[in-house]
Structures are given as C-alpha cells and as structure tokens.
Structure 1
C-alpha cells in the first residue's frame, strides 16, 4: 500500500491539483502534525482516501464542538488506535513541554501517563487480533533517536516505552528538522522498529 506521510511544512507540489499525477496511487495519507488543517483537508479531498493524523505542538487543542480544532474528513488518532486497510495503527501527538500551558506540550511524566492510559486497549487489540502494531504515528521522536538537545526538540521517553511494549513495525514522526539531510540518516532501526523522520514528506510502501 502506497502511503503519503507529511509533517511540519507545506510543500507546494503537494498543495496542487496535480498532486495525484505527481504522486499517483496513494491509498492512505498520514500526518505527523504541525500542518494547517486546510492542507490536510485539501489532500483528503484530492486523493479521496483516508487521512490519519496526530497534532503537533503548534496545533490547536482538540475540542469536540470547535470546528477549527479538527481537520474535517480526517481522523485524529491522538491517544487512540484503530485498524485500517488491514493495518494496526496507533497515534500519539504532541511534544515535550517547553512553554508551560501550551496545548499539545507535555512533561515527560505527563506523556508517560498518556501512554499508560493507552496501553490496556493496545495490548487487548494486539491479543484479540493476533496482529503486531504496524504503525505508531507520533509528532515527536523517541528520546535519543532523531531528537535534538534544545529544549523544544528533546525526544519523549514515553515513546521509547511504547516501542518496547508494543514493538511497532514502523514509527513515523516529524517535529525535528534535519537541516543537513545529506549527513544525517532519516531512518533508524531499533529493536525491530523502523523509525522514520518523515519531515517534510515521504512516499512509502507499507505492507
């Protein structure tokens, strides 16, 4: 299955009515956050395929009754999991807290608590289906992998815990920008999980 994964930066050739000719046969769009919801809505309308997303640290706080706080026609999987197109997905949005009180920013402890709330459902779905978690969609990278040493881009340790417990086949994230992309690898394998920094976008096959 061909997937378009996006994060953090609008790309003009994607925000175009010819995107289906430029990148054909896309079956699913995944967003790792910090993108205008109009951009997500444009892509889901052009491709007419499902779009799953998690919020980034610059996205608004999700409010059920506020239409500006969600991308219409898209599925917010922050703190949730689901099966789609025979694949098992889970999502965890947000980043490390560097501006207290800002939506979608969490302390390390705060994110651990979010993960602990997710785990019972994730483990039950894994047991019931007999299927390994295929894709963990996050905004932030794990701690020590693709993160940075500045306060805003430190990785989240709770993601490392989630990786150890659920052993996802793929972890897709954004948030950190590889300015020297020719010198740094955007793909890292760790304990059976392929961790991919998809900033600003990647077209890939998921099976």
Structure 2
C-alpha cells in the first residue's frame, strides 16, 4: 500500500488564493503529524512548491518552503515531487536532486517515474 500526502499552494507573493506564508504552511504540515505517525511515515509527497533551496529561486513567487525541507529530514520519504518551477531540462539528472534518502523531483511539463 503506497502512502501519499500532498500540500497545495506556493509562497505568498501577491495575495491571490493558494498562496501561503512559511508559518501557514508549517501549520498545514504540522496538522499531519498524527496521521504520519499512525501510518508509519509516507512514501510519496506531492507539492506545488519545492522545498527551500532545492530547485527554487530567490524571487518571492518561486521561493520554496523551508518546512518541506524539514519534512524531508524528519520523515525521509522516498519521493517528493513538486511543480511550480518552470525550467527546461537537458536530462532527468537536472530535475532530480537527492536529499539523504529522498529523491526530490521537479515535475514541470511531465515526468514519469517508477515508485
């Protein structure tokens, strides 16, 4: 049984819907602690925004969430797949970054992987 969790939205930058501050996203993630404990972790994390400093950029619109990086460090899911960062890739190695035991994948456009 594959255990999947997802977090929508990007960093707040102009006040439109589905934009969150770091603190708001940290609360969303925090609300899942009991579920993650009960399910003994997670296999696949789906997010719109990337983790901070992994595939993100410095402008407010494309800045990732620090809480997602903390989530990776704590729960070590095999995969975290995100979108939002539009980039052109010469190969898969440019869209996949390993963080400890987690493969962080930028799914912009499309990406097929085996879980």
**Is the TM-score greater than 0.5?**
yes
Checking the alignment, whether the CA contact within 8 Å between 1:97 and 1:107 is kept in structure 2 is yes
Count of residue correspondences: 114
Q: Deviations over 1:38-96 (max 9, x none)?
A: xxxxxxxxxxxxxxxxxxxxxxxxxxxxxxxxxxxxxxxxxxxxxxxx21111111110
Name the Cα RMSD after superposition. 1.5
Deviation at 1:99, TM superposition (A): 1.2
Partner of 1:155: 64
Q: 2:33 aligns with which of 86, 94, 119?
A: 119
Correspondence 1:134 to 2:49: no
Partner of 1:99: 14
**Structure 2 unmatched ranges of 5 or more:** none
Checking the alignment, whether the CA contact within 8 Å between 1:108 and 1:158 is kept in structure 2 is yes
The separation in 2 between residues aligned to 1:95 and 1:175, in whole angstroms, is 8
Larger radius of gyration: 1
Query: Which structure 1 residue ranges, 4+ long, deviate > 4 Å from structure 2?
Result: none
Question: What is the TM-score normalised by the length of structure 1?
Answer: 0.52
Deviation at 1:205, TM superposition (A): 1.3
**Structure 1 unmatched ranges of 5 or more:** 1-85, 127-131
